[in-house]
Amino acid sequence: MGDTGLRKPGEFCWFNMLTPKPAQAREFFGALLGWTYVDTGLGHSVLVDGHAVGALHDLADPKTPKGTPPLIGLMVKVQSAEDAAEKVRALGGQATPPFDIGGAGRMSVCHDPNGAEFDVWEPRSLQGTDVDADAPGAPTWFEAMTTDVDRAAKFYAALFGWKARSAGSVHRMFEHGGKLMAGARPCALEGALAHWATYFAVKDADEIARGAIERRAQVFAPVTGVKGTRSCGIRSPQGVPFHVMERGD
Protein backbone atom coordinates (compact mmCIF):
# COMPACT_ATOMS: atom_id res chain seq x y z
CA MET A 1 0.00 0.00 0.00
CA GLY A 2 1.11 3.56 -0.59
CA ASP A 3 0.87 6.72 1.47
CA THR A 4 -2.41 6.81 3.42
CA GLY A 5 -3.92 9.18 5.94
CA LEU A 6 -4.02 12.96 5.92
CA ARG A 7 -0.87 14.43 4.46
CA LYS A 8 1.48 16.06 6.93
CA PRO A 9 3.23 19.46 6.72
CA GLY A 10 5.86 19.28 4.02
CA GLU A 11 3.86 16.81 1.90
CA PHE A 12 1.90 17.37 -1.30
CA CYS A 13 -1.71 17.44 -0.18
CA TRP A 14 -3.84 18.58 -3.16
CA PHE A 15 -3.80 19.42 -6.85
CA ASN A 16 -5.71 21.93 -8.95
CA MET A 17 -6.16 21.31 -12.64
CA LEU A 18 -6.80 24.28 -14.90
CA THR A 19 -8.23 23.10 -18.21
CA PRO A 20 -10.14 24.35 -21.22
CA LYS A 21 -13.44 22.57 -21.89
CA PRO A 22 -13.85 21.25 -18.34
CA ALA A 23 -16.83 19.04 -19.17
CA GLN A 24 -14.80 17.21 -21.83
CA ALA A 25 -11.85 17.05 -19.44
CA ARG A 26 -13.97 15.43 -16.75
CA GLU A 27 -15.16 12.85 -19.27
CA PHE A 28 -11.59 12.14 -20.47
CA PHE A 29 -10.03 11.70 -17.02
CA GLY A 30 -13.04 9.80 -15.75
CA ALA A 31 -12.72 7.29 -18.57
CA LEU A 32 -8.91 7.06 -18.44
CA LEU A 33 -8.18 7.20 -14.71
CA GLY A 34 -11.55 6.38 -13.18
CA TRP A 35 -12.06 9.77 -11.54
CA THR A 36 -15.47 10.78 -10.24
CA TYR A 37 -16.52 14.30 -9.36
CA VAL A 38 -18.54 16.48 -7.01
CA ASP A 39 -19.71 19.90 -8.19
CA THR A 40 -18.67 22.41 -5.52
CA GLY A 41 -20.04 25.46 -7.31
CA LEU A 42 -16.48 26.75 -7.71
CA GLY A 43 -15.28 23.81 -9.79
CA HIS A 44 -15.40 20.05 -9.41
CA SER A 45 -13.67 18.09 -6.68
CA VAL A 46 -11.88 15.02 -8.03
CA LEU A 47 -12.56 11.78 -6.16
CA VAL A 48 -10.56 8.55 -6.13
CA ASP A 49 -12.16 5.67 -4.22
CA GLY A 50 -14.45 8.25 -2.64
CA HIS A 51 -11.54 10.37 -1.38
CA ALA A 52 -11.11 13.95 -2.57
CA VAL A 53 -7.66 14.35 -4.11
CA GLY A 54 -7.87 17.64 -6.00
CA ALA A 55 -10.08 19.88 -8.08
CA LEU A 56 -10.74 20.59 -11.74
CA HIS A 57 -11.30 24.22 -12.76
CA ASP A 58 -12.19 26.04 -15.96
CA LEU A 59 -9.12 27.76 -17.42
CA ALA A 60 -11.45 30.45 -18.79
CA ASP A 61 -12.41 31.60 -15.29
CA PRO A 62 -11.91 35.39 -15.17
CA LYS A 63 -9.78 35.02 -12.01
CA THR A 64 -7.18 32.97 -13.94
CA PRO A 65 -4.23 35.17 -14.98
CA LYS A 66 -4.12 35.82 -18.72
CA GLY A 67 -1.71 33.58 -20.58
CA THR A 68 -1.92 30.71 -18.07
CA PRO A 69 -1.51 27.41 -19.95
CA PRO A 70 -3.46 24.24 -19.13
CA LEU A 71 -1.74 22.76 -16.10
CA ILE A 72 -1.87 20.82 -12.86
CA GLY A 73 -0.86 22.95 -9.88
CA LEU A 74 0.36 21.33 -6.66
CA MET A 75 -0.13 22.29 -3.03
CA VAL A 76 2.24 21.51 -0.17
CA LYS A 77 0.77 21.53 3.33
CA VAL A 78 2.37 23.94 5.80
CA GLN A 79 1.60 25.07 9.33
CA SER A 80 1.75 28.76 8.43
CA ALA A 81 1.36 30.21 4.94
CA GLU A 82 2.90 33.49 6.12
CA ASP A 83 6.00 31.80 7.50
CA ALA A 84 6.39 29.59 4.44
CA ALA A 85 6.03 32.49 2.00
CA GLU A 86 8.59 34.52 3.94
CA LYS A 87 11.00 31.58 3.87
CA VAL A 88 10.50 31.06 0.12
CA ARG A 89 11.54 34.65 -0.50
CA ALA A 90 14.51 34.40 1.89
CA LEU A 91 15.74 31.32 -0.01
CA GLY A 92 15.69 33.12 -3.36
CA GLY A 93 12.22 32.15 -4.57
CA GLN A 94 9.07 34.20 -5.09
CA ALA A 95 5.83 34.09 -3.11
CA THR A 96 2.62 36.08 -3.22
CA PRO A 97 1.22 37.53 0.00
CA PRO A 98 -0.88 34.73 1.54
CA PHE A 99 -4.64 34.94 1.01
CA ASP A 100 -7.73 33.10 2.24
CA ILE A 101 -9.77 30.67 0.15
CA GLY A 102 -13.04 31.12 2.01
CA GLY A 103 -12.89 29.01 5.14
CA ALA A 104 -11.02 26.21 3.38
CA GLY A 105 -7.54 27.48 4.09
CA ARG A 106 -4.88 30.05 3.41
CA MET A 107 -2.38 29.85 0.58
CA SER A 108 0.47 31.52 -1.24
CA VAL A 109 1.47 31.01 -4.87
CA CYS A 110 5.21 30.36 -4.94
CA HIS A 111 8.05 29.85 -7.42
CA ASP A 112 11.36 28.22 -6.59
CA PRO A 113 14.62 29.93 -7.69
CA ASN A 114 14.51 28.03 -11.00
CA GLY A 115 10.96 29.20 -11.71
CA ALA A 116 8.89 26.09 -10.91
CA GLU A 117 5.51 27.02 -9.45
CA PHE A 118 3.93 25.42 -6.40
CA ASP A 119 1.47 26.55 -3.74
CA VAL A 120 1.76 26.35 0.04
CA TRP A 121 -1.46 25.50 1.86
CA GLU A 122 -2.32 26.27 5.47
CA PRO A 123 -5.45 24.15 5.99
CA ARG A 124 -8.61 25.07 7.79
CA SER A 125 -11.70 23.12 6.72
CA LEU A 126 -9.86 21.60 3.72
CA GLN A 127 -7.11 19.44 5.18
CA GLY A 128 -6.13 17.90 1.86
CA THR A 129 -6.28 14.33 0.69
CA ASP A 130 -6.00 11.13 2.69
CA VAL A 131 -6.19 8.75 -0.30
CA ASP A 132 -3.94 5.70 -0.65
CA ALA A 133 -1.27 6.97 -3.05
CA ASP A 134 -1.19 3.57 -4.79
CA ALA A 135 -4.92 3.57 -5.58
CA PRO A 136 -5.53 3.75 -9.34
CA GLY A 137 -6.08 7.37 -10.31
CA ALA A 138 -4.46 8.83 -7.17
CA PRO A 139 -1.55 11.27 -7.32
CA THR A 140 1.36 8.98 -6.47
CA TRP A 141 4.62 10.78 -7.33
CA PHE A 142 5.82 14.30 -7.99
CA GLU A 143 8.89 15.43 -9.89
CA ALA A 144 10.55 18.79 -10.31
CA MET A 145 11.51 19.08 -13.96
CA THR A 146 14.09 21.76 -13.45
CA THR A 147 16.93 23.75 -14.96
CA ASP A 148 19.27 23.32 -11.96
CA VAL A 149 18.81 20.12 -9.96
CA ASP A 150 21.30 20.98 -7.21
CA ARG A 151 19.79 24.41 -6.68
CA ALA A 152 16.29 22.92 -6.50
CA ALA A 153 17.41 20.23 -4.04
CA LYS A 154 18.99 22.77 -1.69
CA PHE A 155 15.94 25.04 -1.87
CA TYR A 156 13.35 22.38 -1.02
CA ALA A 157 15.55 20.84 1.67
CA ALA A 158 15.80 24.21 3.39
CA LEU A 159 12.14 25.09 2.86
CA PHE A 160 10.37 21.86 3.79
CA GLY A 161 13.05 19.78 5.46
CA TRP A 162 13.18 17.29 2.60
CA LYS A 163 16.28 15.10 2.48
CA ALA A 164 17.81 14.87 -0.99
CA ARG A 165 19.65 11.76 -2.13
CA SER A 166 21.39 11.14 -5.44
CA ALA A 167 19.65 8.86 -7.94
CA GLY A 168 22.13 8.60 -10.76
CA SER A 169 24.40 11.37 -11.97
CA VAL A 170 21.77 14.09 -12.42
CA HIS A 171 18.60 12.93 -10.63
CA ARG A 172 17.65 13.48 -6.99
CA MET A 173 15.09 11.77 -4.77
CA PHE A 174 13.41 13.60 -1.90
CA GLU A 175 12.64 11.86 1.38
CA HIS A 176 10.35 13.28 4.02
CA GLY A 177 9.21 11.64 7.22
CA GLY A 178 11.17 8.53 6.37
CA LYS A 179 9.58 7.92 2.97
CA LEU A 180 10.41 8.81 -0.62
CA MET A 181 7.84 11.26 -1.92
CA ALA A 182 9.25 13.21 -4.87
CA GLY A 183 12.19 13.68 -7.18
CA ALA A 184 14.01 16.18 -9.35
CA ARG A 185 15.54 15.83 -12.80
CA PRO A 186 16.66 18.12 -15.62
CA CYS A 187 13.95 19.35 -17.97
CA ALA A 188 13.71 16.81 -20.77
CA LEU A 189 13.03 19.32 -23.53
CA GLU A 190 15.54 22.00 -24.45
CA GLY A 191 14.17 25.41 -23.59
CA ALA A 192 11.42 24.02 -21.36
CA LEU A 193 10.55 26.03 -18.26
CA ALA A 194 11.02 24.50 -14.82
CA HIS A 195 7.81 22.97 -13.45
CA TRP A 196 6.42 20.30 -11.16
CA ALA A 197 5.09 17.16 -12.88
CA THR A 198 2.35 15.03 -11.32
CA TYR A 199 2.20 11.24 -11.72
CA PHE A 200 -1.07 9.33 -11.21
CA ALA A 201 -1.11 5.69 -10.16
CA VAL A 202 -2.17 3.09 -12.72
CA LYS A 203 -2.00 -0.70 -12.95
CA ASP A 204 -0.65 -0.86 -16.51
CA ALA A 205 1.12 2.09 -18.13
CA ASP A 206 0.98 0.55 -21.61
CA GLU A 207 -2.78 0.09 -21.38
CA ILE A 208 -3.25 3.66 -20.20
CA ALA A 209 -1.04 5.01 -23.01
CA ARG A 210 -3.11 3.11 -25.57
CA GLY A 211 -6.33 4.33 -23.98
CA ALA A 212 -5.10 7.90 -24.01
CA ILE A 213 -4.31 7.75 -27.74
CA GLU A 214 -7.70 6.19 -28.45
CA ARG A 215 -9.26 9.18 -26.69
CA ARG A 216 -7.26 11.63 -28.83
CA ALA A 217 -4.64 12.48 -26.25
CA GLN A 218 -0.92 12.75 -27.03
CA VAL A 219 1.72 10.53 -25.43
CA PHE A 220 4.64 12.97 -25.34
CA ALA A 221 6.93 10.68 -23.29
CA PRO A 222 6.73 6.96 -24.14
CA VAL A 223 6.46 4.26 -21.51
CA THR A 224 9.83 3.61 -19.85
CA GLY A 225 11.15 2.11 -16.64
CA VAL A 226 10.96 -1.23 -14.86
CA LYS A 227 7.94 -3.07 -13.48
CA GLY A 228 6.38 -1.17 -10.58
CA THR A 229 7.68 2.22 -11.69
CA ARG A 230 7.03 2.23 -15.45
CA SER A 231 5.67 5.60 -16.49
CA CYS A 232 4.78 7.81 -19.43
CA GLY A 233 3.83 11.40 -20.13
CA ILE A 234 0.44 12.29 -21.61
CA ARG A 235 -1.17 15.52 -22.79
CA SER A 236 -4.95 15.46 -22.54
CA PRO A 237 -7.09 16.45 -25.56
CA GLN A 238 -7.63 19.74 -23.71
CA GLY A 239 -3.86 20.33 -23.44
CA VAL A 240 -3.16 19.38 -19.81
CA PRO A 241 0.20 17.58 -19.36
CA PHE A 242 0.39 14.79 -16.78
CA HIS A 243 2.16 11.50 -16.15
CA VAL A 244 1.09 8.04 -15.04
CA MET A 245 3.13 5.50 -13.08
CA GLU A 246 2.52 1.84 -12.44
CA ARG A 247 1.79 1.01 -8.80
CA GLY A 248 0.73 -2.15 -6.99
CA ASP A 249 1.18 -5.73 -8.18
Q: Flag whether 49 is in a domain.
A: yes
Confidence at residue 191, expressed as pLDDT on a 0 to 100 scale: 67
Q: Flag whether 61 is in a domain.
A: yes
Q: Flag whether 203 is in a domain.
A: no
pTM of the predicted model, to two decimals? 0.95
Q: Flag whether 133 is in a domain.
A: no
Poorest-confidence range of 22-31, 35-44, 131-140, 189-198? 189-198
Number of compact structural domains in the chain: 1
Is the predicted pLDDT of residue 226 greater than 90, yes or no? no
Closest to 76 measured CA to CA, from 85, 65, 66: 85
Q: Flag whether 77 is in a domain.
A: yes
Is the predicted pLDDT of residue 1 greater than 60, yes or no? no
Q: How confident is the model at residue 249 (pLDDT cuts 50, 70, 90)?
A: low
Q: Flag whether 223 is in a domain.
A: no
Answer for the pair 245, 199: CB distance below 8 angstroms, yes or no: yes
Distance of CA 7 to the CA centre of its chain: 14
Confidence at residue 238, expressed as pLDDT on a 0 to 100 scale: 98
* Mean pLDDT for the stretch of residues 46-56: 97
Calculate the alpha carbon distances from 52 to 95, 132, 179, 221, 245 in Å.
Answer: 26, 11, 22, 28, 20
Q: Flag whether 51 is in a domain.
A: yes
- The boundaries of the domain holding residue 101 are 12-123
Q: Flag whether 46 is in a domain.
A: yes
Q: Per-residue pLDDT tens for 74-119?
A: 999 999 999 999 999 999 999 999 999 999 999 999 999 999 999 9
Where residue 84 sits, what CATH number does that domain have?
Answer: 3.10.180.10
